[in-house]
Structure 1
Amino acid sequence: MAKECIECKDGIFNADETGVFFKCLPNKTLAFKGQKCHGGKNSKVRITVMVGSNMSGTEKLRLLIIVDYEFNKKAWMISEIYEKWLLKLDKKFAAQRRKVLLFVDNCPAHPKSVESKLKNIKLEYFPPNLTSILQPMDQGIIKNLKQHYRKRIVMKVLAHMEVATPTTVTLLDAIQDLNKTWTLDVKEQTIANCFRKAGFVKDKVQQDADNWDEDDLVPLSELKTLWTSYRRAINMSDVSFEDYVTTDDNVQTTGSPTDEEILESVIENLVPNKKDPEENEDDGQSEGETIPTPTIDETISAIEKIRCFILSRENIPYEIHNSLNLLEEFIDKEKWTNFTKKNN
């Protein structure tokens, strides 16, 4: 018999989309501020991220990241992507023998027709005019995620600013850093407080939640220090800190492509070398270029270097050493599998 979790905090979820200008360093802020990103070059430097968690904060859903692709040049959430994501999530809960309740926006990109296909997820929709008040993700969770992400990329760029080839923020960097941020930086207590602030639970700590400001758990002071260092390093004076931290707050994330847009996308892929006239910004990767896959021996060498680095430091948590052990074991199995294939 399936484990009924709907009545407990662990079985109640909320998920919502947000737009992220993933290359948005402080000096880029004015170019993005206030942009709805309906298409053109800005759609090449933004992604849509579906962020979801349960009410206790103990179970964060794997981020769904939507980028510019053939039939969705705006990098929006559309009904086909939403349904595929939801059915995959339903299958996961079915394998765990769990019934869950998921709260989502009531919008065209979230068609109610998918409900009949779900077996372990029950959907509930926020009233359109009250979503920003009732939705936990809008009460600080997404804000927390974005500011921790910005902290990560500014630290990375500052650390490499004096080298011959300064680092750039690629799409792959963004996906990896967003996942690290969501997994490591956004805390359970932050999520739980946001659910309380949205009125999902009334308990003995409700008064504290009512008085809680999401900024209390967001690294604003640390981010501002990094922003100031970056600003001085490039002699930037025309961007405020407030502009930087709010630049993609209201980016449009949902919509349905029109027939004309689908046709245009098909034509673009049929006509060689056809580029968006607005797309002048170098994204750090040539057209068609792919990141080379390292060999197994190169990977083993990289792991050895990481282990040497960790051994040179004190008070490294056991979990990090154990993770390296697991990674080495996985690579060793891959190497043995390749060896047996060649010799059989």
Structure 2
Amino acid sequence: MNMKSFIPNIDDPPESDDSGDEIPPGGIFPAGGGPGNVTESEDDNEEEEEEEADNEEAAEQYDEATMSDSGAAYSSSYYSSSESEAEATMEEVFGIKPALEAQRNKPPDLETDSASADTESARKFPEMLKKTLEEGQYSSKQVFNVDETGLYWKKMPARTYIAQEEKTAPGFKASKDRLTLLLGANAEGDCRLKPVLIYHSQNPRALKGYDRAFLPVHWYANKKGWMTGKIFSDYYKNKLHSELKAYCNKEGIPFKILLLVDNAPSHPASLENLSNNIKLAFLPPNTTSLLQPCDQGLIQTFKSYYLRSTMAAAVKKTNEMNKTLRDFWKNFTIKDAVTFIKQSWDEVPTKCLNGVWKKLCHQFAHSFNGFAVDSIVSKANKDLTSYTQDLGLDEVEKEDIG
């Protein structure tokens, strides 16, 4: 098995990026960080100690969040003056009124449970969308979907001795350190958007001295590491608009985009008024597990690649540097996670980016011979199982790494 194709060099990341941003000579993580250089101080150390003390509580709150009492501050921005406007906009676009009341009790990036999916709306919506696409003359290059997902970036396969040791240890569990990613691409599959990463710290120690502008992700932070309406609005206005405009100019097509999103409260419908070029379209409530392209295997594929890359790097480090798996795991930082996020996202094949649109926009899905998300994920998990066995973790099975 050739591991090199799966392993980015953590210490010396590549110097090119397909997002259009200039990368300085030092690569994605230039030493010194240029204009954004930050030096250590007593205040920095105090801030880090406070953040570390809050990490476990934040992780638990995220998984148990209800958008009620503890989430009132989070949700108030979505359900005040913009509520009626959001409903009106969605009715105007597709004649569908969102279940905003139900969304109050939904964590910001929680995927819809397939057991509660609205199959009738999922059956009708593709034809309604097709009509809108035809009337607006949107091509597969001009239709995009974005969706959030949580990533436990330092989690090990469940039955490794590290995972077992951490489970019984007191204090903060590194495997519970969670970040939120926003991933997206177009229906053609030839434009994958630069990921949005939301972490619970704006200045983690591993990124001290690095300019955020040169990261291969759009970096945001709040205490809980959640997507919020404020973050999504800033991304929409200051990042996504310019990225999509550059893509359209490169392809020689009109700057006219239909952006499909679910009706989570962190996606304010009023954003549509900020751009004449990007039209928001909302999926019906409780249909994301059935229709949303990102939920049809794209995110699952990305996560399987991320874990595979992490374990491949562990094999490389333990073999070449005479380190133990525990040494690798303890020294694995959010900086390394960002490197693997970029590599894993770039690795998702075009046939997956396009094929996941089959249920929502059948007319855009190409006929890739032998394409199946399950087979892609199965191959990644097979490689992962091999790496864990190379590390002496023979007790790890496919079921543990899903």
TM-score, normalised by the number of residues in structure 1: 0.59
Q: Deviations over 1:264-287 (max 9, x none)?
A: xxxxxxxxxxxxxxxxxxxxxxxx
* Corresponding residue for residue 261 of structure 1: none
Residue 17 of structure 1: SS of its match in structure 2? strand
Shift of 1:232: 6.3
Of residues 214, 219, 231, the one that matches 1:81 is 231
Q: Is the aligned partner of 1:180 residue 2:340?
A: no
* Contact 2:381-2:401 within 8 A present in 1 as well: no
Matches of 1:112 and 1:186, distance apart in 2: 29
% identical equivalent positions: 30
The equivalent position to 1:8 in structure 2, one of 139, 153, 162, is: 139
2:110 matched residue in structure 1: none
SS in 2 for 1:65: strand
CA contact (8 A) 1:43 1:75 kept: no
Which stretches in structure 1 are left out of the alignment for 5+ residues? 34-39, 246-344
Give, as a single letter, the amino acid of the residue that structure 2 aligns with 1:181.
Answer: S
Which residue of 2 is the match for residue 200 of structure 1? 361
Instruction: For 1:188-337, list aligned pairs within 5 A.
Output: 188-196=350-358, 198-202=359-363, 213-218=372-377, 220-231=378-389, 233-235=391-393, 237=395, 240-245=397-402
Structure 1 residues 194, 235: closer, same or farther in 2, change over 3 A?
A: closer
**Partner letter of residue 199 of structure 1?**
L
Paired amino acid for 1:63: P
1:73 match: secondary structure: coil
Is it true that 1:90 corresponds to 2:241 in the alignment? yes
1:242 CA drift (Å): 2.5
Q: Is the 8 A contact 1:5 1:98 kept in 2?
A: no
Structure 2 CA distance for partners of 1:125 and 1:18, relative to 1, 3 Å:
same
- Matched to 1:90, the amino acid is H
User: Equivalents in 1 of 2:290, 2:164: separation in Å?
Assistant: 28
Instruction: Check the 8 A contact 1:44/1:68 in 2, yes or no.
Output: no
Distance 1:235 1:153, change over 3 A: closer
* Aligned residue in 1 for 2:179: 47
Q: Work out the CA distance in 1 between the residues paired with 2:164 and 2:283.
A: 33
Task: Tell me whether 222-231 or 104-113 shows the greater mean CA deviation.
Answer: 222-231
TM-score scaled to structure 2, two decimals?
0.51
CA contact (8 A) 2:140 2:364 kept: no
Q: Distance in 2 between matches of 1:63 and 1:46?
A: 16
What per-residue deviation string (whole Å, max 9, x for no partner) do you get for residues 309-342 of structure 1? xxxxxxxxxxxxxxxxxxxxxxxxxxxxxxxxxx
Alignment partners' CA distance in 2, 1:116 and 1:171: 36
Please list, as runs of the form range in 1=range in 2, the aligned pairs for 1:20-35 lying within 5 A after superposition: 20-26=151-157, 27=160
Which structure has the greater CA radius of gyration?
A: 1
Query: 1:152, CA displacement in angstroms?
Result: 0.8
State the distance in 1 between where 2:226 and 2:297 align. 22
**1:51-70 matched pairs, under 5 angstroms:** 51-69=183-201
1:189 Cα deviation (Å)?
1.1
Distance in 2 (CA, whole Å) between partners of 1:99 and 1:75 is 31
In the TM superposition, residue 42 of structure 1 has moved relative to its aligned partner by: 5.9
Partner SS for 1:66: strand
CA contact (8 A) 1:105 1:128 kept: yes
Per mean C-alpha deviation after superposition, the further-off stretch among 99-108 and 18-27 is 18-27
CA contact (8 A) 2:144 2:187 kept: yes
Query: Does the residue aligned with 2:279 lie in a helix, a strand or coil?
Result: strand
| CA deviation after TM superposition for structure 1 residue 223, in Å | 3.0
Change (3 A) 1:212 1:229: closer
Cα distance in 1 for residues equivalent to 2:180 and 2:198: 5
* Distance of 1:242 and 1:75 partners within structure 2: 28
Aligned length: 230
Mapped partners of 1:137, 1:146: distance in 2: 12
3-state SS of the aligned residue for 2:353? Answer: helix
